[in-house]
Amino acid sequence: MTGRQAPWALAALALGLMTAVANAQQYPDKPIKIIVPAASGGPTDVPARLASQILQPKLGQPVVVENRAGAGGALGARAVIAAPPDGYTLLAGNTSVLAVRPAVSASAGYHPVTNFAAVAKVSESYQILVVQPSRPWKTVKDLVEDAKAHAGQLNYGHTGAGGLPHLTGELFMARSGAKLTGVPFRSGGEAVTAVLSGTVEMTFESVTILLPLIREGKLRALAVTSGQRTALAPDLPTMMEAGVPNYEVTTFNGIAAPAGTPANIVGMLNAAINEGLKSDEIQATIARLGAVSTPGTPADFAAFIAAQYGKWQAVAKDANIKVD
């Protein structure tokens, strides 16, 4: 840069900074879009609509939910990181999109930490390990001992290579020493049906799908994957209580923005969501999803995403799981 050019360049830079600051101070002055990287009505769609329900009255602008499914959630994620980092395009991210997919796929097209600004965690849930009631195992210990004695002969259903239920089973084997064979299905519902019919011996699936079947005696629950027992099934031990060391699998939903979104906008969105999560109505809806809300700062959520991504990246590497 020459001395003649420097003042003009500095002036342009200063003008750009002032414009960015002014835009951030006026935020929001137009509708906000939340992109859901999945189909309407699914487990990611509902928390996104809760966030929309919270943000719209608090920010005074319409908050539109747009479903953009495809490529295991990567299509929607890539659309968000390509948007201007101005707070008007947000991602309704979950465990799959913000941790698992980029951990198993080099072609996902984004990094969950460097390409996003974490805004707020909306909800967190867990899975349950279930078996067919006709099987002899009453505890996780029984199952693990049988799986060790008959290595590779017991099957667990999952939703396909590289998905969270697949990695959940791989982590179970790594932590317990059990040797199982994974059998892929097109959905969690199909995997559960396979356990009901005896096609496979077990599966890991969400509490909302499994609890009714457990209560009806159609499935036997052995443990939950959460760190602490759940109020929805207080008699059910955690995996760690059942003897599987350092085993915890949570599923989460939250809001993220493109990297570079101004901190004051991220903070405004975080404060609005956290305040809305205190509502009895919102809490009741989250409870019906078999989840809990644990509000925190954007930094808390960013650290959580980084830890989840690192965890599943290590599991995928150890099990040599790659999806491309």
pLDDT in tens, the chain (324 residues): 444 444 554 554 445 444 445 555 699 999 999 999 998 988 889 999 999 999 999 999 999 999 999 988 999 999 999 999 999 999 999 999 999 999 999 899 999 999 999 999 999 999 999 999 999 999 999 999 999 999 999 999 999 999 999 999 999 999 999 999 999 999 999 999 999 999 999 999 998 889 999 999 999 999 999 999 988 889 999 999 999 999 999 999 999 999 999 999 999 999 999 999 999 999 999 998 889 998 999 999 999 999 999 999 999 999 999 988
Q: Which parts of the chain fold into alpha helices (H)?
A: 6-26, 45-59, 74-81, 95, 101-104, 140-149, 164-176, 188-197, 207-215, 263-276, 280-288, 298-318
What pLDDT was estimated at residue 24? 57
Q: What is the rounded (10 degree) CA torsion for 175, 300, 251, 43?
A: -170
| Structural domains of the chain in order of their starting residue, each with its CATH number | 13-125+251-318 (3.40.190.150), 126-224 (3.40.190.10)
User: Which pTM was predicted?
Assistant: 0.89
Indicate if the alpha-carbon torsion angle 129, 135, 139, 140 is positive or negative.
negative
d(CA 174, CA 114): 29
The confidence score (pLDDT) of residue 12 equals: 46
**pLDDT at position 22, please?**
52
Neighbour count for residue 207 (Cβ, 10 Å) = 23
In this predicted structure, what is the pLDDT of residue 116?
A: 98
Say which residue the tokens 């209560």 belong to: 215
Q: Please give the pLDDT value at position 13.
A: 45
Which among 132, 181, 184, 180 has a CA at the least distance from the CA of 158? 184
Polymer length in residues for the chain: 324
